[in-house]
Chains A and B, each alone.
Chain A
Amino acid sequence: MAEHASHDHAHEAHGAHAHHPNYVKIWAILLVLLIISVAGPFLGIQIVTLVTAFGIAIVKAYLVVKNFMHIDVAAKLVTYLILTMLLFMLLFFAGAAPDVMESHGSNWEKPSWIAGTAHPEAPAAGHEESH
């Protein structure tokens, strides 16, 4: 059976992936973006930190997905599949975030014992766990 999976067949199966860009160049761009994202917080400006951290993370992820995972040459089905999953993420966030982020709403109030668990505490002195 092994001969059936020889590189000739692999080639045939890989037909849709003929184009290989300059990967080293893309890697170099990713490293520059990494350096910017680390340097951003040193300016001490919150908006700059947010943009350099999360804005650049989105750009880096895009570069990897497009150039390393070749999603742009994969079947449309793949793009729809991934977008659907991202939509599910947004739905989850929209549904759960108000409950997590708000202490009360129109007809409800979060019990204090639940609100309490959402507040991290520093480790106790002597390196013991806080609870």
Chain B
Amino acid sequence: MSAAADRPIATGRSATGMPTGRLAVWWIIASEIVIFGGLLGSYVMHRLAHDAFAEQAAHTNTWIGAFNTFVLLTSSLFAVQAHKASDEGDGKKAARLLYYTMAGGVIFLVVKAFEWTTEIQAGYTIASNTFWSFYYTAAGIHAAHVIAGVIIMGIVAQTAKKNLELQRVELIGLYWHFVDVVWIFLFPLLYIAK
């Protein structure tokens, strides 16, 4: 068997000019753009048409949103440094940086849980009105992606620390950066445009 045939398809095949695993993640990201794009596009339509949205958005906490943005940006820094470490063949360092990234995801979720609890206790639920329906749906779907990312990152880190499957570090990083980009747009929409 040739060396090329020996290799897993996800890391070795490159008919498209890149490893298939990386192409697959970009495909996932492309499909996610349509999901989040549809949601955010709908929000923007309603926000532009109805000033009442701004009155409702005034009840969201900008400081909490800003703190979570800081957390996600920092976790993205760790993710890309993990990618660099994996490129250098340092699986242990890559795994350690992935754990830091996961910690960022967990902090984000804890803060989000605190924020939602406060808002629900104040009477702002998903059924209160259209703004809050968008708010909980968009932030909820995003949080689900954060949870998925943290879990997958844990699996990737387990193999990376044994210096195995290091190409996966870049792939989960790509996904994580996309989750970060989505939040970069959610933050001004939900917390700043008041």
User: What 1/0 mask marks residues of chain B from 75 to 86 whose CB sits below 8 Å from any chain A CB?
Assistant: 011011101101
Q: Which of B121, B129, B192 contacts A40 (CB 8 A)?
A: B192
Q: Residue on B with the closest CB to A59? A: B184
Question: Chain A residues near B52 (CB, 8 Å)?
Answer: 119-121
Q: Which of A8, A31, A86, A92 contacts B70 (CB 8 A)?
A: A31
Determine the distance from Cα of A122 to Cα of B129 in the docked complex, in whole angstroms.
Answer: 8
Q: In the complex the two chains form, is B184's CB within 8 Å of A120's CB? A: no
Question: Chain A residues near B167 (CB, 8 Å)?
Answer: 5, 9-10, 13-14
Determine the distance from Cα of A128 to Cα of B120 in the docked complex, in whole angstroms.
Answer: 10
Q: Residue on A with the closest CB to B87? A: A14
> Is A47 an interface residue, CB under 8 A from the partner?
no
B139 to chain A, nearest CB (A): 16
Given contacts A13-B167, A23-B80, A96-B41, contact A77 B50 (CB under 8 A): no
Q: In the complex the two chains form, is B188's CB within 8 Å of A127's CB? A: no
Q: In the complex the two chains form, is A10's CB within 8 Å of B45's CB? A: no
Question: Chain B residues near A12 (CB, 8 Å)?
Answer: 11-12
Question: Chain A residues near B45 (CB, 8 Å)?
Answer: 93, 96-97, 100-101
Question: Chain A residues near B30 (CB, 8 Å)?
Answer: 81-82, 84-85
Question: Chain A residues near B131 (CB, 8 Å)?
Answer: 120
Q: Kindly name the residue among A56, A75, A78 whose own CB sees the greatest number of chain B CB atoms within 10 A.
A: A78
> Is A45 an interface residue, CB under 8 A from the partner?
no
- For window 105-120 of A, CB contacts with B under 8 Å fall at 117-120
Q: How many A-B residue pairs have CB under 8 A?
A: 212
User: What 1/0 mask marks residues of chain A from 55 to 92 whose CB sits below 8 Å from any chain B CB?
Assistant: 01100110011011100001111100110111011001
Given contacts A5-B8, A10-B165, A119-B50, contact A88 B37 (CB under 8 A): yes
Question: Chain B residues near A118 (CB, 8 Å)?
Answer: 46, 49-50, 130
Question: Chain B residues near A60 (CB, 8 Å)?
Answer: 184
Question: Chain B residues near A97 (CB, 8 Å)?
Answer: 45
Q: Which of A1, A24, A57 contacts B8 (CB 8 A)?
A: A1
B184 to chain A, nearest CB (A): 5
Q: In the complex the two chains form, is B181's CB within 8 Å of A120's CB? A: no
User: What 1/0 mask marks residues of chain B from 127 to 169 whose CB sits below 8 Å from any chain A CB?
Assistant: 1111110000000000000000000000000000001111100
Q: Residue on A with the closest CB to B180? A: A64
Interface residues in chain B, defined as those with a beta carbon under 8 Å from any beta carbon in chain A: 6-8, 11-12, 16-19, 21-23, 26-27, 29-31, 33-34, 37-38, 41-42, 44-46, 48-50, 52-53, 55-56, 62, 66, 69-70, 73-74, 76-77, 79-81, 83-84, 86-87, 89, 91, 121-125, 127-132, 163-167, 170, 173-174, 177-178, 180-181, 184-185, 187-188, 192-194
The 4 closest A-B pairs by CB, nearest first: A127-B123, A120-B129, A53-B188, A89-B37
13 additional contacts (CB under 8 A) given A6-B166, A23-B84, A61-B184 = A10-B89, A13-B21, A27-B74, A27-B76, A61-B185, A64-B76, A64-B180, A68-B76, A84-B30, A89-B34, A93-B45, A96-B41, A129-B127
